[in-house]
Structure 1
Amino acid sequence: MNLVQSLDRRAVRGTLSEAVVDLSAIRDNVRTFRRLIPQDVLAVVKADAFGHGAVPVARAAVEAGATWLGVARTDEALRLRAGGLTVPILTWLYDAAELMLLGDLDVDVSVSTVAELQRVVSIPSVHNVHLKLDTGLHRAGSAPDQWIELTRAAAHYEALGAVAVRGIWSHLSHGDSPEALQSRRQLQLLRTGVSLARRAGLRPSVVHLANSAGAITLDAPDCDLVRIGAGLYGIDETGIGPRPAMRLMSKLAQVRRIRAGEGVSYGHDYIADRDTTVALVPLGYADGIPRVAVREASVLSRGVRMPVIGRIAMDQFVVDAGDLAVEPGEPVTVFGDGSDGAPTALDWAEWAGTIPHDIYCGIGSRVPRRYEEGIQ
């Protein structure tokens, strides 16, 4: 072990802050979806599994029954293969120069246009592709009026042995809408697209449309696969009760007493209205603590919610401990599952005017991840 590795290990053991990921929650969430829906599960582990750690989360998801993994970018797919994951992987954002590598590692790629398809077939290795139809999200995907051309071209290249069309898919624009009206329209468009693809001679083994919320709100028995992202990490968009898998922990770094009328942090946006104890939490916006959340945010220490006061800085923020007798080293829960009274990632999202996905993905690389089983 070299000096840098040794120091890194010591730093993790003695760190002031860490994101603790409960892998049993990941497994439970996969099992919840498998119990509620008939389709197979594709676990979406893009963006380092929403900041939770792609390889450990992917392993847990597969152990619980996920049969596919989904990522946005090539390097994410490569990391999963390097981590020993052998289940099918779909990636949807890649560069033409990366296609050879993806083919060598048996990673499926999404194709939206004839030009993309031609780039895929120009690579010697045979690729599994998923043809994507734009059914209303209007991001990637074939425009409906170009779909027949794409499916015919794909059938031609498949007959030549240059490509295998393993899937047809699309993405919901209103997946978390309880009435699912737009989702049903998109499902009908996808069904039409699949019918046209079959007419062109294609026989995809998987058809998929639904995300976590759509898996619950949309009745789509003719789809073979659902892509579980938010729900995998405990983001509950439909009331089925997935378990949050991450809690963000820290320790009070410094504690001091200030008098009424004294200001805290840059610009003294906060002025104490009484004598009080303030404490320093060694996390900041460089670590993913949203700077805009300051006026409402709080953390939990010794069973007490302590409001964040003053501006959140790059590396630290200050909380008001009142007259509580706290000491440096006191554990702090920045967010957790809420069962102990701590804020949740959803709370922080609401304070910052965003979504929990943003909170999880924003937790920076300076915060080490630690993996445990069965945190309650």
Structure 2
Amino acid sequence: MPSPHPTTTTTTPTCSSEGASSADPPSPSRVEVDLDAVVENLSHAARAAGHGGYAVVKADAYGHGAEAVVRRLLRLAPEVCRGFCVARPEEAERLLSRLPELARDAGRVELLVLGVFPALLGEERRRELARSRARLGWVPTVGGLDDLAAWAEVAAMDRPVPLHLELDIGMRRSGFDPALLSRAGDILQSSPGLQLRGVFGHFSESEVAGSDVTAQQRRRFAEVVAAHPWLASGVVHLDNTCGLPRDGAGPGEGCAGNLGLPPERLSFRLGGGLYGLDLRRDAGAGSAGRDGEPEWPRPAMRVTTRLAALRPVRRGEGVGYNSTYRAAEDRLIGLLPIGYADGVPRAARGAEVLVGGRRRALAGTVSMDLCCVDLGRLDDEGASHHVGDTVVLLGATTPESPAPSSAPSAAVSAGEWARWSGTISYEVTCRFAQRLPRSYTSSRLPSVTAPDRSR
């Protein structure tokens, strides 16, 4: 029986091509984003925490497309999606100018800007920043006395400034040292235009399962907030993807359990987990589903390309720059029209992709626009491959190209690319969206509008 809500796909080309339709972009490589997975990941986190959270959409939603993600999540209740977080004022301005529905909902959802440093700006640029904030309604976070004093000057110009304070609970990167909170309180009290909307902290190693450091930082945060009750006058948020309750832990074992505040005063920030990225899972201590439940968080990105050419390579011949791959026997090599300018990490060693549902190793050094894959021996093993075949670099195979029963895994994860490249999965997805067209799928919406990244 067909679904009453068929899957909808829209495509966002990164460059225009006269005569090319949006359904068939000129690039054979593309990024596919499953918006249903994004919704499910945030909904699961809200159930686990017992309250709504902020969806972190900085860095263009970790490469997934912030405008499409925000537009989809705006349809959720505040008990699930309390608001959004970006890193720069420019990101907030772009979202608010392109998504009028986000601006209209400013009273219901907050758009937090996590990286605003007005103390670094000259007076005129600071005034421009204040006008932008007042006009569009984004909310800055503040982690130091100099920046708090700068916002107080802005507020004194009859431009009220709502804000969230960040506490340093051990990261030693940004946030107020607890010893300076009395001075911060004095500035807030003497500046009626400053409106404290929330307080938050940042774990330094929550991806380490059972970390004593994380437990200490959680206790430290609760102690500081309890010692300065005025901090909890707004929303309180501490947990991130790896800090959220999991593996059977109830909502009371997270931030809520330590502070004793009602759910409407609590929140969390879901960053990588919103897109199915989990540093704890990448480290081998992840969240496989229990009792038949699906894995959480569920990856939302799939990156594919197509075989552009096939060529035999004889024993002893090299492939690519500096011949870092040499054939130990006669092999069939496939050319992929995707390279490090598209996000394939040049530093990757031992990387694998899916061809016909079977894992195949990349061969040689990744070039700027191209890379090669070893398709097997020059006999019957390589005969099943053809120019135009789909190659999956990130994500799973599809029902149209299922994996053979003998395949070790029918998916390639961002965590694997991270291990092959010496980085983390967050960087992997950010890189893959540099110049590839994106398409969005959702089985629960009659239409999904993709933002135009060509402007």
1:110-149 equivalences under 5 Å are 110-123=141-154, 124=157, 125-149=159-183
CA distance in 2, matches of 1:374, 1:298: 30
Match of 2:271 among 223, 226, 229: 229
8 Å CA contact retained: 1:41, 1:67 = yes
The CA deviation at 1:35 is 1.7
Q: Which moved more, 1:174-183 or 1:244-253?
A: 174-183
Measure how far apart 1:99 and its partner are.
3.3
1:301 deviation in Å? 1.3
Q: CA deviation at 1:32?
A: 0.9
Paired residue secondary structure (1:274): coil
| Structure 1 stretches of at least 4 aligned residues deviating more than 6 Å after TM superposition | none
* Residue 216 (str. 1) matches residue 285 (str. 2): no
Report the Cα offset of residue 202 of structure 1: 5.7
Tell me the SS of whatever aligns to 1:347: helix
Structure-to-structure mapping, 1:58-137, within 5 angstroms: 58-64=70-76, 65-82=80-97, 83-84=99-100, 85=102, 86=105, 87-96=109-118, 97=126, 98-123=129-154, 124=157, 125-137=159-171
**Residues 270, 203 of structure 1: alpha-carbon distance in 2 compared, 3 angstrom cutoff:** closer
**Alpha-carbon distance, 1:79 to partner:** 2.1
Matches within 5 A, 1:275-294: 275-294=330-349
Q: Distance in 1 between matches of 2:364 and 2:219?
A: 52
Give the match for residue 324 of structure 1.
382
SS at match of 1:235: coil
**Residue 156 to residue 183, structure 1, CA distance change in 2 (3 Å):** farther
Separation (CA, whole Å) in 2 of partners of 1:194 and 1:75 = 31
Select the residue among 355, 377, 383 that pairs with 1:301.
Answer: 355
- Alpha-carbon distance between aligned partners in 2 of 1:104 and 1:275, rounded to the nearest angstrom: 65
> For the Cα contact (< 8 Å) 1:155–1:202, is it kept in 2?
no
Alignment pair present for 1:239 and 2:287: yes
2:233 is aligned with 1:185: no
Amino acid at match of 1:153: I
| TM-score, normalised with respect to structure 2 | 0.76
Map residues 323-362 of structure 1 onto 2, 5 A cutoff: 323-325=381-383, 326-337=385-396, 340=403, 341-362=410-431
* 8 Å CA contact retained: 1:346, 1:355: yes
The equivalent of 2:42 in structure 1 is 30
Q: Distance in 2 between matches of 1:195 and 1:152?
A: 18
Pair 338,34 (structure 1): closer, same or farther in 2 beyond 3 Å: farther
Match of 1:270 among 322, 325, 329: 325
User: Residues 171 and 364 (structure 1 numbering): CA distance in 2 closer, same or farther, change over 3 Å?
Assistant: same
For residues 249-284 of structure 1, the C-alpha deviation after alignment (integer angstroms, 9 at most, x for no partner) is 101111111211211001111111222211111111
2:310 alignment counterpart: 255
Which has the larger displacement, 130-139 or 147-156? 147-156
CA displacement at 1:8 relative to structure 2: 8.8
**SS, match of residue 39 in structure 1:** coil
Question: RMSD across aligned C-alpha pairs, in angstroms?
Answer: 2.2
Task: Tell me how far apart the structure 2 counterparts of residues 140 and 314 of structure 1 sit (CA, whole Å).
Answer: 36
Asked if the contact 1:135–1:170 (Cα under 8 Å) also holds between the matched residues in 2, the reply is yes
Change in Cα spacing, 1:287 to 1:334, as seen in structure 2 (3 Å) is same
1:51/1:219 CA distance change after superposition, 3 Å: same
CA shift for structure 1 position 176:
1.9
After alignment, is 86-95 or 216-225 more displaced? Answer: 216-225
Q: How far 1:24 sits from its partner (Å)?
A: 0.5
- Give the match's secondary structure for 2:334: strand
Q: TM-score, normalised by structure 1?
A: 0.91
1:372 aligns with 441
> For residues 392 and 274 of structure 2, what CA distance do their matches in structure 1 show?
22
Structure 1 residue 52: Cα displacement = 0.3
- What's the secondary structure of 2:233's corresponding residue? coil
Contact kept? 2:31, 2:304, Cα under 8 Å: yes
Report the CA distance shift for 1:373/1:202 in structure 2 as closer, same or farther (over 3 A).
Answer: closer
Which residue type is aligned with residue 287 of structure 2?
A: G
Task: Tell me if structure 1 keeps the 8 A contact 2:239–2:254.
Answer: no
CA contact (8 A) 1:286 1:364 kept: no
Q: 1:72 to 1:195 in 2, by over 3 A?
A: same
Q: 2-side partners of 1:63 and 1:138: how far apart?
A: 37
- Identity, in percent, stands at 32
Evaluate the alpha carbon distance shift between residue 187 and residue 305 of structure 1 in structure 2; reply closer, same or farther with a 3 A threshold.
closer
Give 1:70's aligned amino acid.
C
The answer as to whether partners of 2:354 and 2:391 remain within 8 angstroms in 1 is yes
Match of 1:164 in 2: 195
2:368 corresponds, among 300, 314, 323, to 314
Which 5+ residue runs of structure 2 have no aligned equivalent?
1-14, 119-125, 247-252, 281-285, 289-295, 404-409, 445-455
